[in-house]
């Protein structure tokens, strides 16, 4: 049982200081920056609208620097409002500020729409002449990417309408989803799942889900039932919300000429539809890997078979608790051992109050890292519950953080990679910390538990995310072919995608049919989830290269991170000696996962549990 986080003073004090984003000016700083950004955007439009083709290379470089300055101003204000909202979605002032900022951002974006439309419309020869000049390294790859959308852009008046209506369309529904799910409370039975006179207690959804890791099966079962009960009251509302966004995306895909529901996401990820489908099919063809693990897990738990609420159960009753200070030291030490530069960057997150760690009512669930703007250090959000998995989550999010920090020199247009490479540093950092925890744990039972957690994280990131992609595929295509989907139909499609993954290795309970309804990626980032599988397999391959080359790999890895999104995914992977064009790449990555499974099976034998 994890130690109560309420008694961890350092954890409770780990809250963001967002003031650096607005130079300590608070909400007034947000409003001033948005006002200045709007004025600059208007001046930019007055100077360049309808005249982009007249610019030479020098003029294009100057224009891009002006655009970057506007994005920096708006980005600082926008992230301040969004991050403040994420820590307390129930505060009306936070919601009002974020809404106002989004309205201002939409106005500014509308003023600047002309630029990318005119740039995409240029003849290829003219565009390449302009790109050949000096001083465009900070935007060259970005500008080439913009032109990849030319077949899917609408006219300027149409794009203006789409942009202005988005605020009261998709983004409004996404905000509503976040507000609805962040206040879901789970009514748990007594702490140990048995009647002890203490009665029940209400906790955030995040805490309720974390209890599925408990060693006591009765605690897991009752917690799962409590989660299902907590999801029920707003289920129809969330289903309607999802239906609306599915229809909205279908309309936009049709208007823009995308032939498949995933094509727009693939274009943004600089990946072809064919290559993404190859990844998805490669993973689906290896579903026997997670099934093997779940059959083994049933034996370790002394069960004939496991249910959905057993999937995350610890295979050891000796649950180790990690106070926040200990997690901090472990992660900083691991990063520093690999690279002093990375260790220094990781330490800054703690020293400069860039992490918001404790679970609180109305706080957004899960974990993320916000890169903000290149001139400002990133921020990390956690919901830390003192478990070993939380230590690995901290390492994961700091991986994103150091990636953003190193790539900041690329500027606002090229700091961020496509989603397909966005998980490289996070998974790599998590793997380093996992190695340290494993090396320091001599207890056979604890080693087995750690290997099991690592394998389960990999299964969740590769196989479960592809199963979620399959669910998305089913709901997007069904919505387009059959019309609005009922709550029951969502449940059927969720069960279908999950049953394909688990086969006969996991029993799916009736209540589990509604668990699609709290997952934010389906709502705010359609098509996002396959990038987790892509990134995990890529990161495992990068780590394998590190094991082969040792210290020789460190500068290459840092070069990869520092390149940000300034090159194509193939060019970025080539920095560390990986060929993404190799047809066998995905199978090789999946072989690494199967090797992890073999290690867990050996540890289970060595522990004497079988």
Per-residue pLDDT of 435-490, as tens digits, reads 888 888 777 777 888 888 889 989 999 999 999 999 999 999 999 999 999 999 99
Give the per-residue pLDDT at 69: 97
Identify the CA nearest to 442 among candidates 320, 610, 311, 297.
320
Confidence of residue 205 (pLDDT cuts 50, 70, 90): very high
- Give the tens place of pLDDT for each residue, 378-411: 999 999 999 888 999 999 999 999 999 999 999 9
Q: Which helix (H) or strand (E) holds 357?
A: strand 355-358
- Give the tens place of pLDDT for each residue, 223-237: 999 999 999 999 999
Give the per-residue pLDDT at 387: 87
Write the CB contacts of 406 (distance below 8 Å, at least 6 apart in sequence): 345, 558, 561, 562, 564
Q: What is the CA radius of gyration of the chain?
A: 24
Give the per-residue pLDDT at 583: 78
Give the per-residue pLDDT at 197: 43
Confidence of residue 102 (pLDDT cuts 50, 70, 90): very high
Q: Is the pLDDT of residue 536 over 70?
A: yes
Residues 448, 430: Cα–Cα separation, whole Å: 18
Identify the CA nearest to 598 among candidates 312, 293, 305.
293
In Å, how far from its chain's centre is CA 593?
21
Q: Is the pLDDT of residue 2 over 50?
A: no
- Give the tens place of pLDDT for each residue, 328-373: 999 999 999 999 999 999 999 999 999 999 999 899 988 999 999 9
Give the per-residue pLDDT at 198: 52
Give the per-residue pLDDT at 420: 86
Residues 45, 410: Cα–Cα separation, whole Å: 25
Q: Reduced to 3 states, what is the DSSP secondary structure of residue 387? A: strand
Q: Is the pLDDT of residue 310 over 90?
A: yes
Residue 347 · residue 402 · CB < 8 Å: no
- Give the β-pairing of 201-204 and 185-188: antiparallel
Identify the CA nearest to 422 among candidates 271, 245, 263.
271
Give the per-residue pLDDT at 487: 97
Q: Is the pLDDT of residue 193 over 60?
A: no
Q: Is the pLDDT of residue 136 over 60?
A: yes
Identify the CA nearest to 433 among candidates 284, 330, 356.
330
Average pLDDT over residues 550-560: 96
Give the per-residue pLDDT at 580: 86
Q: Which CATH number fits domain 17-150: 1.20.140.70, 3.90.550.10, 3.30.2310.20, 3.40.50.2300?
A: 1.20.140.70
Confidence of residue 588 (pLDDT cuts 50, 70, 90): confident
Q: Which helix (H) or strand (E) holds 186?
A: strand 185-188
Give the per-residue pLDDT at 319: 67
Question: Could you tell me the sign of the dihedral formed by the alpha carbons of 423, 429, 431, 433, in that order?
Answer: negative
Q: Is the pLDDT of residue 132 over 70?
A: yes
Q: Where are the domains of the chain?
A: 17-150
């Amino acid at each position: 049982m994890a130690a109560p986080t309420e008694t961890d003073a350092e954890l409770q004090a780990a809250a963001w200081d967002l003031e650096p984003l607005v130079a300590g000016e608070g909400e007034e700083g947000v409003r001033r920056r948005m006002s200045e950004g709007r004025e600059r955007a208007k001046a930019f439009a007055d100077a360049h609208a309808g005249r982009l083709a007249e610019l030479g290379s020098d003029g294009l470089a100057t224009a891009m620097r002006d655009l970057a300055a506007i994005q920096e101003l708006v980005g600082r204000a926008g992230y301040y409002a969004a991050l403040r909202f994420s820590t307390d979605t129930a505060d009306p002032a936070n919601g009002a500020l974020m809404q106002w900022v989004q309205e201002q951002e939409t106005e500014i974006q509308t003023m600047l729409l002309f630029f990318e439309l005119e740039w995409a419309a240029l003849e290829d020869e003219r565009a390449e002449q302009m790109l050949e000049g000096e001083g465009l390294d900070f935007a060259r790859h970005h500008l080439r990417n913009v032109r990849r959308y030319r077949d899917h852009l609408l006219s300027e008046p149409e794009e203006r309408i789409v942009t202005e209506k988005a605020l009261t369309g998709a983004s409004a529904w996404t905000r509503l989803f976040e507000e609805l799910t962040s206040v879901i409370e789970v009514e748990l039975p007594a702490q140990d799942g048995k009647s002890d006179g203490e009665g029940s207690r209400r906790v955030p959804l995040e805490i309720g889900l974390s209890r599925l890791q408990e060693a006591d099966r009765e605690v897991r079962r009752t917690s799962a039932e409590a989660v299902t009960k907590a999801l029920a009251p707003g289920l129809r509302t969330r289903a309607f919300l999802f239906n609306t966004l599915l229809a909205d995306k279908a309309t936009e895909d049709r208007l823009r000429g995308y032939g498949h529901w995933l094509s727009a996401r693939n274009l943004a990820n600089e990946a072809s539809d064919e290559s993404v489908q190859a990844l998805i099919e490669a993973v689906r063809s290896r579903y026997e890997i997670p099934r093997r693990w779940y059959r083994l897990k049933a034996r370790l738990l002394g069960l004939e078979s496991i249910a959905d609420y057993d999937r995350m159960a610890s295979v050891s009753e000796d649950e180790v608790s990690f106070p926040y200070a200990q997690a901090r030291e472990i992660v900083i030490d691991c990063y520093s051992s690999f690279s002093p530069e990375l260790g220094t960057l990781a330490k800054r997150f703690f020293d400069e109050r860039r992490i918001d760690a404790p679970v609180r009512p109305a706080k957004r669930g899960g974990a993320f890292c916000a890169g903000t703007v290149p001139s400002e250090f990133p921020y990390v959000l956690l919901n830390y519950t003192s478990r070993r998995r939380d230590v690995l989550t901290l390492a994961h999010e700091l991986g994103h953080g150091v990636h953003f920090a190193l790539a900041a020199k690329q500027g606002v247009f090229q700091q961020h990679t496509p989603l397909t490479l966005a998980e490289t540093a996070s998974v790599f950092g998590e793997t380093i910390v996992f190695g340290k925890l494993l090396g320091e744990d001599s207890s056979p039972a604890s080693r087995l538990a750690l290997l099991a957690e690592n394998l389960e994280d990999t299964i969740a990131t590769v196989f479960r995310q592809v199963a979620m992609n399959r669910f998305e595929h089913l709901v997007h295509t069904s919505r387009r072919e059959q019309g609005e989907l009922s709550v029951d139909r969502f449940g059927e499609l969720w069960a279908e995608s999950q049953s394909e993954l688990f086969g006969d290795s996991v029993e799916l309970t009736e209540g589990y049919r509604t668990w699609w309804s709290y997952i934010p990626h389906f709502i705010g980032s359609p098509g996002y989830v396959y990038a987790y599988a892509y990134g995990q397999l890529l990161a495992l391959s990068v780590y394998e290269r590190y094991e082969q080359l040792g210290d020789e790999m460190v500068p290459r890895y840092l070069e990869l991170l520092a390149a940000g999104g300034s090159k194509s995914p193939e060019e970025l992977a080539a920095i560390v000696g990986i060929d993404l064009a190799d047809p066998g790449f995905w199978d090789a990555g999946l072989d690494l996962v199967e090797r992890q499974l073999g290690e867990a099976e050996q540890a289970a034998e060595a522990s004497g549990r079988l």
